[in-house]
Structure 1
Amino acid sequence: MIFAMLRVMTLSLLRDRGALAMAFLLPPTIFVIFAAIFSGAAGDQMRLQVALAVTQPSALTERLETALRAEPSLRILDDTLGSAAEANRLVDGGQADVGLVLAPDLGETATSPVLVLVDPAKILAGAILSGQVQRLIGLEMPDLALARSAPAIESIVGGFTPEQSARLSAAIAELGVEPDGDTSQAGLVETRTIGPEGSSTATITYYAGAVAILFLLFSAMQSSATLIEERHSGIVDRVAVGPAGTDVVVLGKFLFLTVQGVVQVALIFLVAGIVYGVDVLPYLPLWLLTSLAAALAASGLGLAVAASCTTKQQAHTIATFIVLVCSAMGGSMVPRFMMPPWLQDIGWYTPNAWTIEAYHGVLWRGETLPSLLPELCWLVVVASSSVLLALLVSRLRLRL
């Protein structure tokens, strides 16, 4: 009897081609995505996008800029900016992962001549860039590294003899940097977070949006599966006798899933506000518009999958595949700045990336409606095309 049950289950899976393919395609696909993410984060494929600003060009800044642009783990924006304010604007607007500002005298020891500007939601990016800058200076500009370390060494050993000072000065001059004789020593790199006070909520805001779209997709996919049950039980056939046909079934479910999704998102952000201090009320209209667009997109995708599948098992497997892949590539599981550039580009084809960017723009960067239009329009396009597909497939199945 045990083997008979085994045979029945095996035949059931083999006869459902779609479920069979997805059941054995999903695990290696998810593995490839996460392997690409974490291997890239550990190597030179991560490639942070950096907004570089040079307040006043000099021989030292030109040498460091050349080394930075040749570094494979960094993507320096084409235009070199002229002020820290410009770099701040690009990082704050999301056009760059992190900003880098170079002072004209990199050999200055009284202050930090290199400033890293980091979004609080991407603190790791600032730490990575800071380490890369110091590594490049040590490898490509040993004269600068020696000039900056000499005062600290002198203070530790209690001063150099005249002969040692002369030899040190000659070595530094030979390498290309004149010693300034200043015994004070500030750090080479200073990291500064941008944005308003309470920057600890930036990460919470990011993950509130990431979790919101993740569960919107899961919930919509699961609830949409009732369309298959109603089709098999004959409910859809009976409703189709009416003047509106099957459209009322699809559109009614679409409306319900959208309202349900907005309520789910509201609960997530309610907890974020009460527990972590995420302030939604000042941005309530745009937050509601973003939540509505995200719920529409998730609901449309769920109905498109349900209408296209023939069995609940097939729908469940395909839905799981879509949700996990979109969430992995779109930033719901791992921030997209940690991914290789090619995976970041693919991520823009998922509703997750646009939803996360919209929520972060509204609640953290304080963007206005014109700035949010690209994200909102893309989500509405996904919703419209998905619902249209669900309507067409439902009508076709009724004729068959």
Structure 2
Amino acid sequence: MAMAHRLLVRLAALWQKETLALLRDRHGLAALFLMPMIFILVMSLALRDAFDAGAATDLGYAIVDLDDSPTSRQYAERLRRLLTFRDSGTLADEAAARQALRSGEIGFALVLPAGFAAAQPDGAQARGTERPALRLLVDPVVPQALQTAFRLHAEAELGRFQAELLMHRLGRALMIPELQSLDPAAHALPVAVIAAAGRGGEDRAMPSSVQQSVPAWLIFSMFFVVIPLSAVFIAERQHGTLQRLASQQVPFGLILAGKLLPFFVVNQIQAVLMVLVGRHLVPLAGGEALVLPAGAAAWAALWLISAAASLAAVGWALLIASLARTTEQATVIGGVGNILMGAIGGIMVPAFFMPDFMQQLAQLSPMAWALEGFHRVLLQHGGLGDVLGPAAALLGFALAALGVAVLMNLRSRSR
């Protein structure tokens, strides 16, 4: 009992020392808290449309109706209901459309030619005459994928519109009342496919960009404890603090344990703060709010993966601090290592955007394991059992990193 009490007293003193050293490092604390807040806010807004394909984009379009007939106006109205681009209204002529394209006000201008109504299946255009074509004017800066998407939407709606007009014409010719009374505007077919997350017993809304950004940049910020922790560790080594602790028979494992709790607490504060940013600050900036899980099991799973990621991050930081001889070395090795783990682990670019070999490579990154665990809770609405695998992998990484750090420092002391 006396030995255990003496061990706890030493450990509490080490925790207090590490906490005071951490609080003095204002630049390190700013990097740990301000950097992920900015990343979450910026990336949630920047990737909003990439994760919500049905949302209206800021890329505008206008329609130039040179026919100005009920048929052309009806087609334009139906097209507006289909497109997810920003509607900039109707322009008078092509010159106005080209000016709007040059000024960057719109990305597309769809020109409905004169004679559009007469060229339709129920129109009055004579046989053998050339049908006027719709023309799409495009800002060349617009990516090719968006150009193709706009053109295909316009062509598909035109085909649907012409088919309904043809049926109306056949109804008149064959004296079929049902086809004669067919109104293309009133009997328009559904054009929207509503996506829903189907895991579990009920449909759920598809995740927004903030559901992806918050866990990704939270994990990235957790691993950046390598900078303040290694700075404190190397300063203690250079100033002789570690040697004095060793002379007082303080085991090196206890010294590492003394560093573990303060930075673990910092990581958990980061987690709470980043969740609050996603929940309250991102909506104020125009994005969607982070949707948190419901139920005690989901919250327990969320805490477990957060704790495992924190232990992995602190273990990684202690390993880097043991490897580096100077603060500059620790900053370079730790910073570059974090960026590489984030790049291949799906933090900076979601893994489903990567080619197959990159997705396989991502499984080597501890950040990918942590991200998978967070996604199982926040995106797939999983419970405690769903995160046991990623959490176990992170804990194994933490123990391995701590073990190597202890061995390296014991070897250094023996020398």
Question: With structure 1 as the length reference, what TM-score do the two structures score?
Answer: 0.53
Aligned to 1:323: 338
Aligned to 1:206: 212
- Pick one of 295, 308, 311 that aligns with 2:310: 295
Deviations 1:332-373 (A, max 9, x none): 212111111111111111122121221122233221222211
Deviates more, 1:375-384 or 1:327-336: 327-336
Task: For 1:216 and 1:269, locate their aligned partners in 2 and report how far apart those are by CA, in whole Å.
Answer: 13
Task: For 2:336 and 2:364, locate their aligned partners in 1 and report how far apart those are by CA, in whole Å.
Answer: 15
1:272 aligned onto 2:285: no
Shift of 1:273: 3.1
Deviations 1:89-126 (A, max 9, x none): xxxxxxxxxxxxxxxxxxxxxxxxxxxxxxxxxxxxxx
Gaps of 5+ in 1: 1-40, 42-126, 139-144, 163-182
Aligned to 1:25: none
- Pick one of 250, 254, 265 that aligns with 2:260: 254
1:305–1:318 Cα contact (<8 Å) kept: yes
1:205–1:359 Cα contact (<8 Å) kept: no
1:284 aligned onto 2:299: yes
Larger Rg belongs to: 2
- Pick one of 378, 392, 402 that aligns with 1:377: 392
- Cα 1:323/1:150, change in 2 over 3 Å: closer
Task: For 2:347 and 2:230, locate their aligned partners in 1 and report how far apart those are by CA, in whole Å.
Answer: 22
Shift of 1:205: 2.5
- Pick one of 161, 164, 176 that aligns with 1:155: 164
Aligned to 1:229: 235
1:327–1:333 Cα contact (<8 Å) kept: yes
Shift of 1:386: 0.7
SS in structure 1 opposite 2:381? coil
Task: For 2:294 and 2:158, locate their aligned partners in 1 and report how far apart those are by CA, in whole Å.
Answer: 50
Alignment-mate amino acid for residue 326 of structure 2 = T
- Cα 1:397/1:281, change in 2 over 3 Å: farther
1:201–1:277 Cα contact (<8 Å) kept: no
1:364 aligned onto 2:373: no
Alignment-mate amino acid for residue 196 of structure 2 = T
- Pick one of 243, 246, 255 that aligns with 1:240: 246
SS in structure 2 opposite 1:313? helix
Alignment-mate amino acid for residue 258 of structure 1 = F
Aligned to 1:399: 414
Question: With structure 2 as the length reference, what TM-score do the two structures score?
Answer: 0.52
SS in structure 2 opposite 1:279? coil
Deviations 1:248-278 (A, max 9, x none): 2222112222222112112211333344253
Q: How do 1:10-159 and structure 2 match up within 5 A?
A: 152-156=161-165
2:275–2:290 Cα contact (<8 Å) kept: no
- Pick one of 209, 212, 222 that aligns with 1:216: 222
How many residue pairs get aligned? The number is 246
Task: For 1:305 and 1:331, locate their aligned partners in 2 and report how far apart those are by CA, in whole Å.
Answer: 22
Aligned to 1:192: 195
Shift of 1:160: 6.7
2:319–2:401 Cα contact (<8 Å) kept: yes
2:309–2:370 Cα contact (<8 Å) kept: yes
Alignment-mate amino acid for residue 217 of structure 1 = F
Shift of 1:200: 6.8
Deviations 1:218-253 (A, max 9, x none): 123432332112112111111112334322222211
SS in structure 1 opposite 2:193? strand
Alignment-mate amino acid for residue 265 of structure 1 = A
1:387 aligned onto 2:405: no
SS in structure 2 opposite 1:190? coil
Shift of 1:395: 1.0
- Pick one of 335, 338, 357 that aligns with 1:342: 357
The alignment yields a C-alpha RMSD, in angstroms, of 3.7
1:221–1:305 Cα contact (<8 Å) kept: no
Alignment-mate amino acid for residue 397 of structure 2 = V
Alignment-mate amino acid for residue 259 of structure 2 = K
Shift of 1:151: 5.8
Alignment-mate amino acid for residue 344 of structure 2 = M
1:254–1:299 Cα contact (<8 Å) kept: yes
Aligned to 1:54: none
Task: For 2:163 and 2:279, locate their aligned partners in 1 and report how far apart those are by CA, in whole Å.
Answer: 52
Task: For 2:383 and 2:164, locate their aligned partners in 1 and report how far apart those are by CA, in whole Å.
Answer: 53
